[in-house]
Structure 1
Amino acid sequence: MTTHTTRGTAGCGSGPPTDARTWRRCRLLEAGFQESLADAVAADPLFDLHVLLQLLDRGCPPELAVRITAPSPGEVVR
């Protein structure tokens, strides 16, 4: 996985995030997601963040990567 860095992403530059949602959001912002999309994906634990980032590393735009990896309707967290 490629490490992407973006300076100035809110809440991501002042040390390690303290919760999983913030960590997920920071990784998505660093990878180039717009804030609103990063917030929505980070809040949904059914999205596999590693798969999303792998798609981005292969040149897939963030919006398409989210569509490809979107959870099925009715899917639940176990």
Structure 2
Amino acid sequence: MTVHEPQASRGTGGPPIDVQSWRRHRLLEAGFPGALADTVASDSRFDLHALLLLVDRGCPPDLAVRIVAPSPREMAP
């Protein structure tokens, strides 16, 4: 996926432009380990807001992912 950055944000250290990078960035800021953040960020079936809300309330990231994980029906091809 090619990401075209607006001229004003190049090299400024601002937030990522593409959605997957933005999701990963938010998860890392919330304390998710890198590998878990990568997995969750790349799967749009995870509700990022629900995950962050659980973690904000004290739920460990790995448990929050298990709680919010897509149902088996959603995972079937």
Q: Same fold (TM over 0.5)?
A: yes
SS at structure 2 position matched to 1:66? helix
Q: Which amino acid aligns with 1:16?
A: P
1:43 aligned partner, one-letter code: S
Matched, 1:73 2:72: yes
What 5-or-longer segments of structure 2 have no aligned partner?
1-11
> How far does residue 74 in structure 1 lie from its aligned partner after superposition?
3.4
Aligned counterpart, 2:50 = 51
Distance 1:74 1:19 in 2: 28
Structure 1 letter corresponding to 2:26? R
Task: State the one-letter code of the partner of 2:67.
Answer: I
Q: Distance in 2 between matches of 1:68 and 1:46?
A: 13
Corresponding residue of 1:36: 35
- Take 1:44 and 1:70, find their aligned partners in 2: how far apart are those partners? 10
Structure 1 stretches of 4+ moved >6 Å:
none
**Which has more radius of gyration?**
2
Matched residue count: 64
CA distance in 1, matches of 2:13, 2:24: 14
Give the alignment's TM-score, normalised by structure 2.
0.78
Q: 2:6 corresponds to which residue?
A: none
Structure 1 distance, partners of 2:27, 2:49, is: 10
**Is there any run of 5+ residues in structure 1 with no aligned partner, and where?**
1-12
Q: Percent identity?
A: 67
- Alignment partner, residue 21 of structure 1: 20
